[in-house]
Amino acid sequence: MTKLKRIGVLTSGGDAPGMNAAIRAVTRAAIYNGLEVYGIRHGYEGMINGWMKQLKSYSVSNIIQRGGTVLKTARSKEFRTPEGRKKAYNQLVKNNIDACVIIGGDGSFAGARIFSEEYDIPFVGIPGTIDNDLFGTDYTIGYDTAINTVVEAVDKIRDTASSHNRLFFVEVMGRNAGFLALRSGIACGAEAILIPEVETHYDKLSEFLESGFHRKKSSGIILVAEGKEAGGAFEIANRVKEEFKEYDVRVTILGHIQRGGSPSAFDRVTASKLGVAAIDALLDDQKSIMIGVANNEVVHVPFNKTIKNNKPINQSMLDIADILTI
């Protein structure tokens, strides 16, 4: 590979708290190593359209504490086509960009992998998603902040649940992965946690409710990962209303508040560590890899592995949840 002189940095897919901290770290680590940095706005869509601007050290001042992404993000249908990727390549060449750091999830990394196969421009990924569902890394940027957001919201909902003797179904994000629901459910003391990885979740919930839960407690919180095969919080709550008429059931969908807010200290430090490591990897001629964290150490995971492999749920966490919800 020719010597790096200029890199691009972009955010893609859903936003996550801590993305700005990662942008800051990538920018300053690159400048520290004598590289020029160009911010690519609106993800792959901005790459196709040439929405790029040089970033200086001062350009990323006062953003580490901000949620969202200053570079904006988007999902690009055009980039999924060979013609769209050709346009993106031409823009990178036009702007003399030798390599890119992309902050996002598996969809973003899938696009980067295909692009790198078609064109000789290295891509290194930083995992940024509140779902924490990327194989090869213990934590993704935004996950810790989202957990704290959920816990804060559920603590307030529990006050209302207790005051009115109600059973609240609270839906959190995680259509295909229950990491957010499981960890935040344990943290907020949920009476039951329903996640995609456990197929018999409704049967267990029925057993739980039939076991005389209403005689032991006057209120409760059931945490539900969105889009489960048995339905989201509303559908499951309606089934409970029909089968257990003694319960006063309510539903709350937390929605996009989980993606926003100032990132936690943990997410800021993780983003900073991974941003610096991403530049180190590019300088070491690495490409088509995700920079992750395993056992508190930086690891390099090929895009192929993190895209194709499903991240397993931690069985010990499931066991803890079962033990503590009796």
CATH number of the domain that residue 45 is part of:
3.40.50.450
Within a domain: 317: no
45 HSE (CA, 13 A, CB side):
11
Model confidence over 166-188: pLDDT tens digits? Answer: 889 999 998 788 999 999 999 99
Do 178 and 70 have their domain in common? no
Please report the DSSP string for 205-240 in residue order.
HHHHHHTTHHHH-S-EEEEEETT-TT--HHHHHHHH
- 229 and 113 housed in the same domain: no
Set 131, 133, 144, 267: catalytic member: 131
Rounded to whole angstroms, how far apart are CA atoms 26 and 21? 9
- Asked if residue 15 belongs to a domain, the reply is yes
Structure tokens at 224: 């539900």
Mean pLDDT score across all residues of the chain = 91
Q: Are residues 10 and 134 in the same domain?
A: yes
Q: Flag whether the pTM goes above 0.95.
A: no
Q: Kindly calculate the radius of gyration of the chain based on its CA atoms and give it in whole angstroms.
A: 22
Q: What is the DSSP letter of 310?
A: P
Task: Give the domain extent around 38.
Answer: 6-142+263-308
Q: What is the C-alpha end-to-end distance of the chain, expressed in Å? A: 58
Same domain, 149 and 123: no
Residue 243 vs residue 89, higher pLDDT = 89
Distance CA 1, CA 302 (A): 18
pLDDT, position 220: 85
192 assigned to some structural domain: yes
How many separate domains does the chain show? 2
- What is the C-alpha separation between 10 and 72, in angstroms, rounded? 8
Q: Among 105, 59, 37, 109, which residue's Cα sits nearest to residue 279?
A: 37
On whether both 168 and 211 belong to a single domain, the answer is yes
- In the annotation, is 155 catalytic? no
Q: In this structure, is residue 318 part of a structural domain?
A: no
- Higher per-residue pLDDT: 63 or 219: 63
Residue 227 and residue 172 in one domain: yes
Contacts of 82 (CB under 8 A, 6+ apart): 118
